[in-house]
Amino acid sequence: MNAAFWRGKRVFLTGDTGFKGAWLALWLDSLGARVLGFSKDVPTRPSLFEAARVGEQVQHEIGDVRDFRAVNDSIRRFAPDIVFHLAAQALVRYSYAQPLETYATNVMGTAHVLEALREAPSVRAAVIVTSDKCYENLETGRAYVETDAMGGHDPYSSSKGAAELVAAAFRRSFLSGKTSIATARAGNVIGGGDWSADRLLPDAYRAAESKKPVLIRNPTAVRPWQHVLEPLSGYLVLAERLVEAGVSFAEGWNFGPPEGDARSVGEIMDRVASLWGADFRWELDKASHPHEARLLSLDCSKAIKMLGWKPRLELETALEWTVAWYKGFLSGSDARTLSLDQIARYDAIA
């Protein structure tokens, strides 16, 4: 990344109250960007947004991406240089319970942001964040590349595949030559400050706090685990390239860990238990659950070769940083300080 690039840039960030959005808002602010966050609510209690006092650092506006007028008015008033669209319904299991909300947020919410860009002459680049689950996952063991088919078994996954198609259509039909649009697909992110439901490390935190065992649904499921700062660094580099080189980078991009860091849920929990200490343990959840993919990994060679981006943290380090953040927070350390310290340590890694 070029820190000087971001100084003074006007950045519109949807989903700044979410886990990844709050980390990105803190990072952008530390780089000297002028950030307007746009989100309908704080999705969890506690939340990184509140614990790290993100709203004291960046401008924040309450709004819902399902409301086109609200999105359009906010972008028009702020006149950003760059847009990051992270707002989403981000949970697979919740999508089974609320499929219409999931599609309205993830598909039409994305369409609303892109439609607003048609009338936003200031915007030079936009990064639309989707998910590694956007791919038609055949669980063959092969890592997915950016040209693989979109799909999805569940409403969440298919909504992310659909968001990719919407972004591609807007890019080709309306925004080519005006605003450079790229999509970013990342794997399972971990890191301090995530309190979402049905996620592995937040469940581990809650179990450690309550001194109860973690119930694990699919210990043999394999995922590409990565620290939250890894894909965020990719989004930042991608936005820089979109501004500097335009349409040659306006396409889909994978941001994931090295191939060897795709590990099973059971392996991750065993390592978390050793890092957390004596009272931490996990057990198999024997209840019936809806379908979830058992194997998924990304091929990130395109981003490594063309963007000059690469993962900086080995999985062991990512787990150490995550557990250290949560343990620090439990012991009373300041969430903003914990987060900014890890951002600074990440920036210092060559």
Q: Does the pLDDT at position 285 exceed 80? A: no
pLDDT tens-digit map of 70-88: 999 999 999 999 999 999 9
**For a pLDDT cut of 90, what percent of the chain falls above it?**
72
**Mean pLDDT in residue range 84-97:** 94
**Residues forming a β-bridge with 181:** 126
Q: Which ranges constitute the DSSP H helices of 85-228?
A: 92-97, 99-103, 109-118, 155-170, 200-210
Q: How far from chain centre, in Å, is Cα 38?
A: 15
- What pLDDT does 217 receive? 77
In this prediction, residue 21 has a pLDDT band, given cuts at 50, 70 and 90, of very high
- What pLDDT does 164 receive? 98
Tell whether the torsion through CA atoms of 45, 24, 233 and 180 is positive or negative. Answer: positive
Q: Does the pLDDT at position 157 exceed 70? A: yes
Q: How far is CA 118 from CA 69, 113, 124, 182, in A?
A: 13, 9, 11, 15
- What pLDDT does 95 receive? 95
CA distance 143 to 283: 29
- Least confident residue range of 29-38, 151-160, 267-276: 267-276
Q: Does the pLDDT at position 150 exceed 70? A: yes
Containing H/E element for 254? strand 252-255
**Mean pLDDT in residue range 207-211:** 80
pLDDT tens-digit map of 105-121: 999 999 999 999 999 99
Q: Does the pLDDT at position 30 exceed 60? A: yes
Which residue has tokens 């519109």? 12
CA distance 173 to 163: 15
Sorted by where each starts, the structural domains of the chain and their CATH numbers stand as: 3-195+225-262+297-315 (3.40.50.720)
- What pLDDT does 293 receive? 56
Higher pLDDT, 309 or 214: 309
CB count, 10 Å around CB of 71?
A: 26
- What pLDDT does 111 receive? 98
- What pLDDT does 281 receive? 78
**Mean pLDDT in residue range 271-293:** 73
Q: Does the pLDDT at position 288 exceed 80? A: no
- What pLDDT does 294 receive? 59
- What pLDDT does 278 receive? 67
Q: What's the chain's average pLDDT? A: 92
Q: Does the pLDDT at position 272 exceed 90? A: no
CA distance 168 to 126: 12
Range picked from 57-66, 90-99, 136-145, 275-284 for highest mean pLDDT: 57-66
Higher pLDDT, 28 or 281: 28
**For a pLDDT cut of 70, what percent of the chain falls above it?**
97
Contact 247, 305 (CB under 8 A): no
In this prediction, residue 289 has a pLDDT band, given cuts at 50, 70 and 90, of low
Q: Does the pLDDT at position 286 exceed 70? A: no
The reply to whether the predicted model has a pTM over 0.85 is yes
Q: How far from chain centre, in Å, is Cα 43?
A: 14
Higher pLDDT, 221 or 287: 221
CB count, 10 Å around CB of 134?
A: 25
CB count, 10 Å around CB of 291?
A: 9
- What pLDDT does 328 receive? 95
pLDDT tens-digit map of 2-16: 999 999 999 999 999
- 46 cis-preceded (ω within 30 degrees of 0): yes
Q: How far is CA 114 from CA 80, 123, 170, 268, 308, in A?
A: 14, 11, 7, 37, 27
Range picked from 32-46, 220-234, 272-286, 287-301 for highest mean pLDDT: 32-46
Tell whether the torsion through CA atoms of 99, 100, 101 and 106 is positive or negative. Answer: positive
Tell me whether strands 82-85 and 125-129 are parallel, antiparallel or unpaired.
parallel
